[in-house]
Structure 1
Amino acid sequence: MKYRCLVLIPALLLNVTFDISTLAAQTERDPKEAVTNLTVAPGLKATLFASEPSISSPSSMDVDSQGRVWICEIVNYRAKMRPIPTRKAGDRILVLEDTNKDGRADKTTVFYQGPELDGSQGICVLGNKVIVAAPPNVFLFTDDNNDGKADEKELLFKVTGGEHDHSAHAAIFGPDGKLYWNFGNSGKQVFDKNGKPILERNGKPVLDNGKPYWGGMVFRCNLDGSDFEVLGHNFRNNYEVTVDSFGTLWQSDNDDDGNRGVRINYVMEYGNYGYLDQLTGARWRTPRTGMHDEIPLRHWHLRDPGVVPNLLQTGAGSPTGILVYEGSLLPEKYWGEVIHADAGPNVVRAYPVEKDGAGYQAEIANIITSEKDKWFRPSDVCIAPDGSLFVADWYDPGVGGHRIGDQKRGRIFRIAPPNANKYQFNKLDLSSVEGAIAGIKNPNLATRYLAWEKLHALQEQALPQLEELYQSDNQRFRARALWLLAGIKGKTKHYVSHALKDSNPDIRITGLRAARRYKLDVIPYVKQLVHDSSPQVRRECLIALHHNQSPQAAGLWVTLADQYDGKDRWYLEALGIGMDGQEQEFMSAWLKQAGDKWDTAVGRDLLWRSKIPLTVPYLVKIIENPETKLDALPRYFRALDFIPGKEKNAAVAELALIKEPGDKKRETYIIAEAISRMPANVVMKDQKYQHALAQVINSSRGTPEFTKLVEKFHASAYYPELIAIAGQSGKSQTAVDAIRAALSLKQKVLIQKTLKKKGGSEKERHQKLDLIWALGTSGHKGANALLLNIIKDDQEPLVDRREAVRAIAKSRSGAHALLDLAEKANFHSQLKPTAAAAMSSTIMKDVKERAAKLFPAPPTKDNKPLPPINVLASMKGDILDGRVMFNTKGTCAKCHVINGMGKEVGPDLSEIGKKLSREALFESILYPSAGISHNFESYTIILASGNVVNGLMVNKTDDAITIKDAEAISRTFKMDDIEEIIPQKISLMPADLQKVLTQEELVNIVEYMTTLKKAKKIEKASR
């Protein structure tokens, strides 16, 4: 941006322009400054391993057993969507190598390049095999001759959704020899290389349709894609999954952008993670009973039965790569911890985790941040064979979201203690068992993969060395050894049984997981652990019972349920996972055992979680129980929502007629919740329910529930109130919901009657404008005819017609109807500026193309056409330059006052920045007659002398009128000297003001105007 040095000389203001920002930005963006711009945690040092021009825009990374860094480079990111320069040969997979071990890459090899890799989101190196997620494809590349270049390419999986960030992401090799990977909520379904739908073990397709899966999912399968499992679902954009040596899964997930709901999850196998409503697939904004007030928590449906809790919520962000650090080079505080890159807030974090009941709790510890350079966008993190941490930096002004701002830069950093500058380590030696054991102990996953394959192939030949490793003091080494020992043919049961007796609960958990991995009958092992002192071990027992058809499963589940403390949500969800598909049998067994003592904290939670008709009478008793607190009632009503069938319908009908002596507030709430769940035809056919409904509607006035109830039950007596709400609630969601309900109830005649009311107070005039706004914002097709009637009616006030133009242009059908009208010769000329402004802001391509012919954008000083208002509003301007433009060149200060300075013709703009949006500011400048502020209408005065005066009316009495002209000069004329007073339909502000400005100057002026909120401070600061 340009900065102006203002040199004040008597009678002369010199503007000396010099551009220092370009030079500053170039210096700031130079790779030489990359490390300097980072803040690194104590005990660690960052070094630059690679940067542009060697690499650009790295989206994903892996480090192989030789220490080489593999990069998915996505210069062509979303190129099909946006007109950006492209690399015609396609995006690349690069291999970066440090041949002299000085910690900096000095050799770059192109492993593969092709347009099918555009937008790649993940890479996993497994020896000479490389798995690349390039949505909609997951490819398997093979380097047959180990020269660092792909010799073969085949399709491993295909997903739906096209090239999208919310699709397939990176795969990872697990300690059990399995492949783990995921996709986000655009993945939808997984197919094999032949296009055949992938089926789970139970024969059902892996499909996002709510039967049973929603949204993003986590998968486990064999390396060839067989034996496919869904391990978790209902994520939004779960960018990457990682798994530790015990087989525990960790993952990040992004919220709907801007809602401060980014989360880190411990992935409890087979869990639902709550992005979409389990019943309907609705997102978090859809109202539901008992939802959180706080949006970040409401976002994940955390109060619904069957949703696994979040480990941690980290606020706003754009989460990317994740790992578990199982090395020892970094300081001990990071050993065994989750480390995660979040590109949005420019940070790489560790999440120190502690066990918390059957789950975990975590805190945040930053490893790398960048306050100096906000282009630092960490996209991935990996562990090298020496235990150092590698960080890929996409390096861009933005964070994905289908946009790329810089296609030329990218960096890779190595993070290690200050005394570990040399990037060196022992070469993997697979020629001996001892060498393979050293490999399985390595923190680098690519190394462990090769060692695992070798040791697994050796079977009993490696047994002595694996048993020795199993006796290690390092519990993660022990777990890795256990997976391999259990994989030796004929030894699985022996080592599983041995592990279940171990003093370390993590090893007991690993043993039970190994039993499942090798498809043993888990019932004997669950019996062995059913009274384990660790709730985490018991959690794994419950997961092991998932879909288990053994006759003993229900009894074991009941024993585990009896050890629930009534507080641990992780344990409760594990109980739900354990009884999934067998709730009737398992809950019947528990209720039989509990007898009359079912109504406890434990019993209430189990009934709430079960979601089956069997529990309906119990939930009704809980709701009817006077000891159930009012603030607990939403929880149990929400539980009823998940139960299908006539039992639930009969129960809510019973509750709709409840009488609560002495507690009217509680009675009203129960009746309201019950009635809202009843079919409309049942309620409206029975007088006793109609009476209950009236009671509820009357008590709900002033709340969103009023509109919902009136609409659902077609309560015609309240229709006029809906329209009154739409006009009296300002520009709000309440107003839109009310008018949409009225339109759905076919109340166009009643709405028309309200709109046709003449005269009224100033308040009533504003209410009509708000009603017109609500009609346009409703998106209901029935609104168009009502709005067109206003637009075409010459008897309607011009201000109302302009508001109707803006309103109808908000919908595609309405915009086209307006354009149809505008193409006719009789379209009112005074409505054209308003229509032009409204059409300039539209994002609908077909509307924009038609509108451009009718309402071309006004040209600027250099005779160049302006882009649409929404594009102008997205541009960043120079505040200081805008201030200068505002006060010079005869522009804004000629007619407007800021903090007492300027001419008082138009409105005072001292606080305009907190009144109008950027879009509205541009519209006011480019189309001043599109909407004239109240009390700033202009008039033409024709005098008896023949003179004509234009200006704003300052005052008017029976005897005289005072007019202020464009020079801020006020003059008073006697009525006897005036022949005619003509109200004008156009603004006194020039309609071609932009002609004295360039596009850059216009953007700068608006940038300055957005700061006019606490103007005095800003003026002082800018001097």
Structure 2
Amino acid sequence: MITDKLTHISFRRFISWVSVGVISAGLLFAFRQQPVGTDQPRVLDNRLELTLFAENPDIVTPIGIAIDSLNRIFVLESHTHLPPKDYPHSRGDLIKVFVDSNNDGRPDKTTVFADGLTEGLNLAFSPEGHLYVVTSRTVWALYDRDGDGVSEERKKVLDLAQPASVYAHAALLGITFSPDGWMYVSRGNTGGQAWKLVGTDGSSVSGYGDGGNIVRARPDGSRLEEVATGFWNPMDLKFDNKGHLLAADNDPDSRGPNRLVHVVPGGDYGYKSLYGGSGIHPYSAWNGELPGTLPYAVGLGEAPSGLQDASLTALPSDYQGQMLSSIWEESRIVRIRLVPNGVSLTGEAESIVEGGPEFRPVAFATDRTGAVYFTDWVLREYPNHGKGRIWKLSAKSGTTTSRPRLPNVATSPTTTDKPLTELYATTNVDSIKTALQSTDPFRQQAATMAFANPALRRELIEATNDASPAVRLGTLIALQRSGHQPVEPIARRLLSDPDSRVRQRTLMWVGQSGMVALKPDLERALTAGPVSPALFDTYLETVAHLTPAFVTAYRNRTELYSKSIKRPLPPQFIENFIRDKTKPADLRALAIRYLKNPVEQGPLLLSLLTTEKATPLRVDIVRALANVPEPTVSNQLLRIATNRAEPGMVRAEALLALARQPTDVSPSVHPLLNDPNPDVQLEAVRYLRTRLSGVDARKAFLPRVASFKTHPDSPVAQQLSLAVASSGGKRPTSLAAWESALATGGKLERGRRVFYSVQAMCSSCHAIEGRGGDLGPDLSNVGRSKSRTQLIQAILRPSQEISPEWQGWYIRLKNGEEHQGRQIDVGGKEIELYTQTAGFITFPMKDIQDYGLIKTSLMPGGLETQLTVEDLRDLLAFLQAKK
């Protein structure tokens, strides 16, 4: 219903509140400074108007809503969502019917259509006109055969037979009907528990450790089948005017954004509950990062709860072909402008209604005139609280509007849909191979599904030897999904494939399928070609997946929650890998990045530093030692930095690492200002800038500034000038001038050192290839998604565009302190805030004055004042290369 994760509140903690009967009356007391009902939402599109249709006590804690052909408004009124002690209302959920027969904008008749429901979530009318209700464990069809406005019969059409108990917002969630009469239902991830959904004819879908999914069945509950998987908790789903099935999916705790997903048959959208709630794992994806997974269409704000096809409305004509979504946590409604993207969709969200903390929009429905009605939970409290509203959104008189499309009317395939539909059904191998080589992931997906056809088994196996890496990649995914056996000989061969993505996906196949016999062959994936950090990470996870204890526990489902099954690497696996001199130096260098505690491995790292000669390995040793704050480490790093026989790259990295050490070695670094290696000079200036006072810096740097008179724009000269005069040479004064100055140029390796420098502090919040913080987005692939101009704007104007998943929050304490962070977990007695410096910090409610959304980016502005123009060029070159 409202949000899958209680805005990241842990399920265990929330249940513990309920079990002791403590539902704090002061929950979000900071938001109760005004009486409920004074929070009037604002309409941001001046062509629209918002009117209050009904409110408590006539409607309380409303969730799902649906409107029939007679314009009767059916609303699901929740009373079983963790009701507090002595709750004064009904002990079962109700479905109320509101009728406005005189069209005055207020109901003149309210009746109860059905009662006695438990943990109700959503409503929808079938094409035949019967009302269906989704509860956390059941889909019911409700019948009013005599037309008196009261349901006299209900039939269970889908039943969640397992697990025995599950949190309501992680079970059955949304429902919609397709124009051709199928019933589609969304299911949450059940917290990683084993699950089984059963239809009326015995057909079933089940899983353990997978993600949430979308299933479909006939309206009578027969012919149940899975449509797509890989969701966190898809709260709602609707078809748009072109027949695309769209789902609003909430995000895992450390992965974002919440997303609008174009759902296609057989689609895997990347999330698996086996790997925990963070969403960060080598086998998991969120935006199509892994082969075989699909990207989302649009990133949404926190806790999208409802969807509405705007083509069913009589809103202004430019709303046609768009979707509406309620963003529950952010107290707003957005319009989503959708445009074709290959055979799929993309777009952007724009707020059209915004409210304060007592505005919590949930679900939508439209009447036959095209007016939009939506439910409002009012308060942020999750337990039933006795407040509620229903709003009507419509176009103002005189506004040019479109004629609303009738619901459940079939649409002909569009020019972009037809090729996709045909591809799913084809048995033409040449067509399939062509599609597998497309750059469109949805065409690749359809081709993979087509190739999994049992009739093409021989051709599929032959295609694993195809000359095209894209075809080989598609065939191995098709083999895994089809369940063909035996496959171990094919997987063993593909572990040595020259293409790294084929090897990566083969490792995942081996691990997910538990091919223990291939454990001795896993290193083939590391020796057949170049190895990226992502491939190495996948290799390590596959080693862990093939440990006998994990294979047995997972297959036997020995843990109630799949994520509780441990997958440790063999003891000392990383340390032994690093020590093994028979392995290539570049692989050993990658392994160093996976040392869990570099401080404990300080002796090993220092030993390697004195014995290893390969530059890549030495560089990664130095980088790891930056996080080992000991005098012996500082001495070794200084020895390397001042040794001209060492490669310049190693010396520069040693200076960068020294900047993070507590020991001040400024006197020894000062002579490096005259070093012949410009990279060493550059890092020496940066080091001294962090250690010297303003007066000492001028004394140290002024003589060097004078020596660069003939080359004032060189990187070292700019750095010296910035240190002495806070100018860094001639500098742009406007965003346009900066964009022009930074349009080209830069050196990648220097840019990496800027990224990890004390001056830039980028790595405090951002990680690249596993190194850095997680307060901001991971930038390992930022060059793939953003142009150089977009990167410049993001660095220089961080608050100009804030992605929903990185929205900042503040907590203001009564003692005047203010704390800022990225994630907020609101409890009955405390609030947790995820911060840059200390991770999650807990604040007792009694100490909090106020909290809420931060209007600006968590990334501070003014970074350019700490960096030279050349620094920024280098940083951009480094980020652009991350693809």
- Residue pair 2:306, 2:326 contacting (<8 A) in 1 also: yes
Cα deviation, residue 269, structure 1:
1.1
Name the CA shift for 1:883/1:68 in 2 (closer, same or farther; >3 Å). same
SS in structure 2 at match of 1:363 = strand
**Distance in 2 of aligned mates of 1:44 and 1:669:** 48
2:36 is aligned, of 29, 36, 46, to 29
Name the CA shift for 1:108/1:346 in 2 (closer, same or farther; >3 Å). same
Q: Partner residue of 2:649?
A: none
Cα deviation, residue 331, structure 1:
1.1
Structure 1 unaligned runs (5+)?
Answer: 1-20, 290-297, 426-440, 449-476, 481-503, 507-533, 546-552, 719-724, 731-762, 765-873, 885-912, 923-998, 1008-1023
- Residue pair 2:157, 2:219 contacting (<8 A) in 1 also: no
Q: Partner residue of 1:520?
A: none
- Residue pair 1:325, 1:338 contacting (<8 A) in 2 also: yes
TM-score, normalisation: structure 1: 0.48
Report which structure shows greater RCO (CA 8 Å, sep ≥6): 2
Cα deviation, residue 73, structure 1:
0.8
Cα deviation, residue 535, structure 1:
6.0
2:369 is aligned, of 372, 377, 386, to 386
- 2:59 is aligned with 1:169: no
Cα deviation, residue 132, structure 1:
1.6
**Distance in 2 of aligned mates of 1:121 and 1:1005:** 31
Equivalences for 1:269-418 in 2 at 5 Å?
269-276=265-272, 285=279, 287-288=281-282, 300=286, 302-314=288-300, 316-327=301-312, 329-370=314-355, 373-398=356-381, 403-404=382-383, 407-418=385-396
**Distance in 2 of aligned mates of 1:347 and 1:388:** 18
Residues matched between the structures, number:
575
Cα deviation, residue 319, structure 1:
1.6
**Distance in 2 of aligned mates of 1:247 and 1:349:** 21
Deviation sequence 1:792-843 (CA, Å, 0-9, x none):
xxxxxxxxxxxxxxxxxxxxxxxxxxxxxxxxxxxxxxxxxxxxxxxxxxxx
Q: Partner residue of 1:692?
A: 582
Amino acid paired to 1:560: I
Q: Partner residue of 1:704?
A: 594
**Distance in 1 of aligned mates of 2:851 and 2:371:** 48
2:51 is aligned, of 43, 47, 52, to 47
Cα deviation, residue 168, structure 1:
1.8
Q: Partner residue of 1:147?
A: 148
Equivalences for 1:927-1006 in 2 at 5 Å?
none
Q: Partner residue of 2:246?
A: 250
Amino acid paired to 1:382: A
Q: Partner residue of 1:69?
A: 73
**Distance in 2 of aligned mates of 1:646 and 1:1006:** 51
Q: Partner residue of 1:264?
A: 260
**Distance in 2 of aligned mates of 1:266 and 1:572:** 15
**Distance in 1 of aligned mates of 2:464 and 2:839:** 60
SS in structure 1 at match of 2:172 = coil
Q: Partner residue of 1:130?
A: 131
- 2:478 is aligned with 1:588: no
Deviation sequence 1:963-1020 (CA, Å, 0-9, x none):
xxxxxxxxxxxxxxxxxxxxxxxxxxxxxxxxxxxx96x777999xxxxxxxxxxxxx
Q: Partner residue of 1:96?
A: 98
SS in structure 2 at match of 1:575 = helix
Amino acid paired to 1:225: G
Structure 1, 226-235 or 690-699: larger mean CA deviation: 690-699
- Residue pair 1:346, 1:377 contacting (<8 A) in 2 also: yes
- Residue pair 1:276, 1:301 contacting (<8 A) in 2 also: no
**Distance in 1 of aligned mates of 2:81 and 2:491:** 52
Q: Partner residue of 1:120?
A: 120
**Distance in 2 of aligned mates of 1:149 and 1:354:** 42
- 2:223 is aligned with 1:227: yes
**Distance in 2 of aligned mates of 1:588 and 1:24:** 62
Cα deviation, residue 175, structure 1:
0.9
Name the CA shift for 1:85/1:613 in 2 (closer, same or farther; >3 Å). same
Cα deviation, residue 442, structure 1:
6.5
Equivalences for 1:409-488 in 2 at 5 Å?
409-419=387-397, 443=405, 445=407, 479-480=410-411
Cα deviation, residue 693, structure 1:
6.0
**Distance in 2 of aligned mates of 1:188 and 1:397:** 30
- Residue pair 1:59, 1:74 contacting (<8 A) in 2 also: yes
- Residue pair 2:271, 2:279 contacting (<8 A) in 1 also: no
Deviation sequence 1:42-99 (CA, Å, 0-9, x none):
32111111112211111110011111111111134222xx546252542321111112
Name the CA shift for 1:614/1:44 in 2 (closer, same or farther; >3 Å). farther
Q: Partner residue of 1:652?
A: 522
- Residue pair 1:175, 1:245 contacting (<8 A) in 2 also: no
**Distance in 2 of aligned mates of 1:104 and 1:639:** 58
**Distance in 1 of aligned mates of 2:533 and 2:294:** 32
Q: Partner residue of 2:188?
A: 184
Deviation sequence 1:633-657 (CA, Å, 0-9, x none):
8677657656765895565344666
**Distance in 1 of aligned mates of 2:436 and 2:836:** 53
- Residue pair 2:282, 2:534 contacting (<8 A) in 1 also: no
Cα deviation, residue 124, structure 1:
2.1
- Residue pair 1:387, 1:444 contacting (<8 A) in 2 also: no
Amino acid paired to 2:238: T
Equivalences for 1:780-795 in 2 at 5 Å?
none
- Residue pair 2:335, 2:351 contacting (<8 A) in 1 also: yes
Higher relative helix content: 1
Equivalences for 1:8-23 in 2 at 5 Å?
none
Structure 1, 691-700 or 217-226: larger mean CA deviation: 691-700
> What is the Cα-based RMSD across aligned positions, in Å?
5.1
- Residue pair 1:219, 1:228 contacting (<8 A) in 2 also: yes
Structure 2 unaligned runs (5+)?
Answer: 1-27, 481-486, 547-569, 609-623, 630-661, 664-808, 818-834, 853-883
- Residue pair 1:656, 1:675 contacting (<8 A) in 2 also: no
Equivalences for 1:746-757 in 2 at 5 Å?
none
SS in structure 2 at match of 1:395 = coil
- Residue pair 1:76, 1:87 contacting (<8 A) in 2 also: no
Amino acid paired to 2:71: G
- Residue pair 1:124, 1:131 contacting (<8 A) in 2 also: yes
Cα deviation, residue 258, structure 1:
6.3
Deviation sequence 1:465-517 (CA, Å, 0-9, x none):
xxxxxxxxxxxx6x45xxxxxxxxxxxxxxxxxxxxxxx752xxxxxxxxxxx
**Distance in 2 of aligned mates of 1:23 and 1:703:** 44
Deviation sequence 1:835-875 (CA, Å, 0-9, x none):
xxxxxxxxxxxxxxxxxxxxxxxxxxxxxxxxxxxxxxx99
Deviation sequence 1:129-175 (CA, Å, 0-9, x none):
32222222322322233222222233332214456122223432321
**Distance in 2 of aligned mates of 1:669 and 1:107:** 61
- Residue pair 2:141, 2:156 contacting (<8 A) in 1 also: yes
**Distance in 2 of aligned mates of 1:634 and 1:263:** 26
Name the CA shift for 1:163/1:154 in 2 (closer, same or farther; >3 Å). farther
Identity of matched residues, % = 18
Amino acid paired to 1:143: D
Cα deviation, residue 108, structure 1:
1.1
Q: Partner residue of 1:541?
A: 422
- Residue pair 1:668, 1:696 contacting (<8 A) in 2 also: no
**Distance in 2 of aligned mates of 1:600 and 1:380:** 45
- Residue pair 1:63, 1:444 contacting (<8 A) in 2 also: no
Q: Partner residue of 2:645?
A: none
- 2:118 is aligned with 1:108: no
Amino acid paired to 1:537: K
Amino acid paired to 1:568: D
Name the CA shift for 1:695/1:104 in 2 (closer, same or farther; >3 Å). same
